[in-house]
Structure 1
Amino acid sequence: MPLPFLTADRAFDATADDVALPFDDHDLWRRPYRPGPWRVVAAAVLLLLASFVLIAATIIGLAGALSGAAVCLALGLAVIGAALRLLRVGVWVSRHGLRRVGLLTTSSVAWSDVSAVRTVQQPVRWLGLPRTVQGQALVLVRRGKSEPLPLLTDHNGDFLSRIEAFDRAADTVEAWWSEYGPA
């Protein structure tokens, strides 16, 4: 069963040509890069935890404590939802704009509201933790706002120890902005 949110279509296959906007339908929201190994491992660990919780719910239900089984079932489903949401976290692009998906929030910015998308050297958070290290970040500058919004960093869960993948993803997002951004 194909899982389209885990793949970046044919964008970065070894046999694909170097095309900046490789997708056929530019109206659909697409992630221009593959999720990184840290993100996939974290989601796999959450799914493993959810399987144990669901097994516990089954055992508790067979023992006759239906209210306890319902609580375990709800907890297991919440952990599965969190794992799937963790896989969707990242930057998504389409003809309409750029969407930044977080674990709990999602925000979209139309290309007409973006004044620049560029890669900068700055302190970045390591795997989203409070600790910062010197690294690269792809930032979005919105019209009328002075504070740039970091989209991707080379030390987040998708690009840690994968500098080439960060460069490709940053170049692809910049290509989408150059195609649809400036009027």
Structure 2
Amino acid sequence: MSPRRAPKKAVKEAAPAPPRPGDLLINDPILKTISRAAFALVMLFALLLLWRGHNAPGGGFIAGLMTVCALILHRIANGDSALRVDPVKFIPWGLALSFTTGLVPYLLGRPFLKSDFGYLTTALTGEFEWATALLFDLGVYLVVVGAGLSLAYALIEVEPSERVEGDE
């Protein structure tokens, strides 16, 4: 008589979680390669818009939106943020800078947000115009980048936990 063997118990292995839509793009070599060049170009364009915004179309708002787009592209391509700080921290700094830029002329007896400007001449740039409006634009830029990235990152991190009728 052969010894009786105990019946095997069915072991349930956990099925691997289906990939999230964003996970499919993280290791895409084409997206990573293209995003590096696109990130650099969009950031350069955003800085140009910020720099020229007080004299030409552009400024802190549009430059901030361009920066948000570049940073979202980086996050989609690489799976992590290019920033090492929480973007929410930019908002109070931007508000303080913009408010201070407007308050200083007011405290000096001029209209609120009155811009001042002048010219510098350097060997590197030649004649260069400076304006206090650039400081206001920089504050707006920080607010837009902080708010835009906070909203985008909050939407990226959404993990639905409930199923509704019609989900498969």
Q: TM-score, normalised on structure 1?
A: 0.27
- Looking at secondary structure, tell me which structure has more strand per residue: 1
- Looking at secondary structure, tell me which structure has more helix per residue: 2
Q: Which of structures 1 and 2 has the larger relative contact order (alpha carbons within 8 angstroms, sep 6+)? A: 2
Q: For the pair shown, which has the larger CA radius of gyration, 1 or 2?
A: 2
